[in-house]
Amino acid sequence: MFAVAIALFSMVGAWLAWRRNPSYSAKFTLRFLVIAGLSIAAVIAVIVAVTNLTANRSAPVAFAAAMTVVVIGSLSLIFILQAAATPKEAKLATVLPASVKLVRVHRQKVYFWAKVFTAMVAACALLALVLPGDIKFIALAFGGMALLLAAILLPVMYVTARGFDRSLTALECDPWVHWRYAPAQWQSWSAVQVARMQAKPPGFVWKRDWHKLGWACAAIAAGVGIFSPGSLLERLLYVVCCCGGIFALVALGVRSEHTLPAKTEAKLRKIEPEVYFGRDGVFCDGGYFTWLGVGFYLVSASLDNRPPASLAFNFEKVVPNPYAPTQPLAIVHNVLIPAGAEADIARLQRELRARCPTAQIALV
């Protein structure tokens, strides 16, 4: 009962977040729901059919067949839903000349996670070899879970990252505007960005905001205590795990926010001092920010007259939360204006108004 309530709560939050998306339409939403329902039904039917066909086979054969259909079905379902959930105007431009070399900005992150999963599986396999008795099956279980997750997540991450790399490559080949900065100018601008981050008040302070976590944990404890089955000890352990996970995530967020200025400064020293604006988004400070998307989109663009003058782009990012409604997170990114860029800014004004008709564009 409690799990159902959380699921419904999350669905309502996701619906409200999607309702704010500039690409939202009732017709598109209905079409997506029909495709999603049919796809889920098809995957379930295939799983049931394979299970029935292998019911009289040996346990290894039945298990291998079940895992294969789960992986293939999950991948098919994810890719179908990704394609169905992306409106036509939000699809990335990925057509490139054959001679163009793809950038590796996004795929590089996938390679990192591939190494992480490989290390996890190898560590679990090593533990299974050295641990005595039945304890080794714990390591094998964790290794199997990591392998299953890798088989599903890594292909999805790679295909998605490759699409973004193709889009970024296309943007660099044919940009609306391309600005390059002198090393001294870039160094000065980097120092300004770091100083603004350091001056920004923290989003979460333990002494000030502890009660917010307290109320969330109290709600979880009440829901588990009232609706969840099991003994008192089992429910208590579940609450401790949930609340501990929430506290751990908040602590990681606080630490990440504290170290962000130093990480940003180190990152800005390594990247090329340039920025690209194009059909799909803006590439600056080593990051690619798309104008339109299901979970990330432009809300407004304006001039920031604080010295040195810059363009301020306001985005919203949809952040899922298993214990609270899905909410859009405001992200502001500034781009330094070089000297003599009036004509470029005027073009950005025209192009962005045409590309993002619902966003507030006031660059000139």
User: Do residues 336 and 274 lie in contact, with contact meaning Cβ atoms separated by under 8 Å?
Assistant: no
Task: Give residue 1's pLDDT.
Answer: 47
Task: Give residue 14's pLDDT.
Answer: 61
pTM score of the predicted model: 0.82
Q: What is the DSSP letter of 86?
A: S
pLDDT over 90 at 250, yes or no: no
Q: pLDDT tens across 9-28, in order?
A: 555 556 656 667 777 788 88
Torsion of CA 215, 221, 227, 229, to 10 degrees: 170
If pLDDT is split at 50, 70 and 90, which confidence band does 171 have? very high
User: For residue 258, is it within any domain?
Assistant: yes
Q: pLDDT tens across 76-122, in order?
A: 999 998 888 888 888 998 888 888 899 999 999 999 999 999 999 99
Task: Give residue 161's pLDDT.
Answer: 95
Task: Give residue 169's pLDDT.
Answer: 95
Please state the rounded mean pLDDT for residues 244-264: 80
For residue 37, give both structure tokens: 């329902």
User: For residue 171, is it within any domain?
Assistant: no
User: Do residues 70 and 47 lie in contact, with contact meaning Cβ atoms separated by under 8 Å?
Assistant: yes
Say which residues have a Cβ less than 8 Å from residue 80's Cβ, sequence separation at least 6.
35, 39
Task: Give residue 256's pLDDT.
Answer: 77
pLDDT over 50 at 284, yes or no: yes
**Spatial separation of the C-alpha atoms in residues 283 and 178, rounded to whole Å:** 10
User: For residue 104, is it within any domain?
Assistant: no
Q: How many helices (H) and strands (E) does the chain have?
A: 9, 8
User: Do residues 216 and 324 lie in contact, with contact meaning Cβ atoms separated by under 8 Å?
Assistant: yes
pLDDT cut 90: percent of the chain above it:
41
Which residue type, as a one-letter code, is found at position 90? A
Task: Give residue 2's pLDDT.
Answer: 45
Q: pLDDT tens across 308-354, in order?
A: 999 999 999 887 665 556 677 888 999 999 988 999 999 999 999 99
Counted domains in the chain: 1
Enclosing domain of residue 199? 187-272
pLDDT over 80 at 8, yes or no: no
Please state the rounded mean pLDDT for residues 140-155: 90
Give all strands of the β-sheet with 296-304 in edge-to-edge order: 327-336, 310-319, 296-304, 360-362
User: For residue 307, is it within any domain?
Assistant: no
Task: Give residue 259's pLDDT.
Answer: 78
**Spatial separation of the C-alpha atoms in residues 364 and 351, rounded to whole Å:** 13
Which residue type, as a one-letter code, is found at position 289? F
**Spatial separation of the C-alpha atoms in residues 361 and 364, rounded to whole Å:** 9
Please state the rounded mean pLDDT for residues 160-164: 94
User: For residue 319, is it within any domain?
Assistant: no
Average pLDDT, the chain: 85
pLDDT cut 70: percent of the chain above it:
93
User: For residue 241, is it within any domain?
Assistant: yes
User: For residue 91, is it within any domain?
Assistant: no
User: For residue 13, is it within any domain?
Assistant: no
Q: Is 128 exposed, middle or buried (0-12, 13-18, 19+ CB in 10 A)?
A: middle
